[in-house]
Structure 1
């Protein structure tokens, strides 16, 4: 069985190959290809989210904490730096000590995340999110394709 590093390298290689093809046909700007490369590389880690102690799971919840924190900081007016730090600590604590244990309890490693239905769900969620974020249809579909290729690379490696 391959480890975290091997899975990440495999998804990086496939994303790099896909990015090269996209650049060769000049379909979208370079900066967007770079973003797609990152998305494709990280999507190779998605199948391991159901492993309770995986690097992928810890990374996901750290990124989720950071994203929620950024949304809160940018959405509300705070009167002091202390309020900001208290909010950040509460968000981190809630996500890591309330939501993450529930997620770990509800998932089984090599269970649903290693199925074709999970691939379809993640790819369609990516497409939906990209459209919701007002990506062009080309960029939205390419985002979904990168996730598909990265995810399938991980499941097969």
Structure 2
């Protein structure tokens, strides 16, 4: 499988020009362009959050913990004293960073259901409503971010499959086929939960019609 540096580099090399192209063709402003590029890079990391010792899981859970801490400040800003707010934010951060991350590591296996197209759809289904409702971005930007996260995550799976083939002698490694798959059929319950999660995420998302109209006009 490809290493962390390779995943991030290739995701950046592909996502950045596509994000710039969206700007050139009037499909994104400069802020959207930056967000799309970063979303593609983040997507390139996400499938490896099921690897307990990976850099990806540390980065993603630090970002998630920071987001939860920030949201706790926003929600309780007018209801608690500053010292209590600070304590709540710190507690929220460490709750995500350690107990929640530890439970996640125990419940997931590397190259399991998180290394699948279904998981990539779930990443998108989480990203779009999060961008729209929490960060109050418009529908076009939210769906653009979701699309680039899916792109980056799919690039990750393709790279892992490419690294499963040794070109010298054309030998196929045992890991071939464990990355680029629809889902992990050995985890049917988790797969069903992911499908439900995708449905809920889509229901919470804004209409994607804005992108349909943009492509129709172009």
Bin of the TM-score, shorter chain as denominator length? 0.7 to 0.9
Show the 5 A alignment for 1:2-41.
2-41=2-41
Alignment partner, residue 129 of structure 1: 130
Does 98-107 or 71-80 show the bigger shift? 71-80
Q: Which range moved further: 119-128 or 46-55? A: 119-128
TM-score normalised to structure 1 length: 0.87
In the TM superposition, residue 18 of structure 1 has moved relative to its aligned partner by 0.8
Match in the other structure for 2:74: 74
Q: Distance in 1 between matches of 2:118 and 2:126?
A: 12
Separation in 2, partners of 1:34, 1:141: 14
Q: CA deviation at 1:156?
A: 1.1
Moved more, 139-148 or 38-47: 139-148
Query: 1:93-135 CA deviation, whole Å, 9 max, x = no partner?
Result: 3222321111111100011111111122222332333443554
Q: CA deviation at 1:37?
A: 1.1
Whether contact under 8 Å (1:14, 1:149) holds in the other structure is no
Deviates more, 1:59-68 or 1:83-92: 83-92
Q: Unpaired segments of 5 or more residues in structure 2?
A: 160-218
- The aligned runs of 1:1-157 (5 Å cut-off) are 1-77=1-77, 78-81=80-83, 83-133=84-134, 135-157=137-159
Alpha-carbon offset, residue 154 of structure 1: 1.0
Greater relative contact order (CA < 8 Å, ≥ 6 in sequence): 1
Report how many aligned residue pairs link the two structures. Answer: 156
In 2, distance between residues paired with 1:66 and 1:53? 20
Question: How far off is 1:9 after superposition?
Answer: 0.5
Q: CA deviation at 1:75?
A: 2.5
Instruction: Name the SS of the counterpart of 2:114 in structure 1.
Output: helix
TM-score, normalised by the number of residues in structure 2? 0.65
State which structure, 1 or 2, has the greater radius of gyration over its C-alpha atoms.
2
CA–CA separation in structure 2 for the residues paired with 1:56 and 1:88? 23
Which has the larger share of helix? Answer: 1
Q: After the TM superposition, which parts of structure 1 deviate over 6 Å for at least 4 consecutive aligned residues?
A: none
CA contact (8 A) 2:120 2:150 kept: yes
**What RMSD, in angstroms, separates the aligned Cα atoms of the two structures?**
1.9
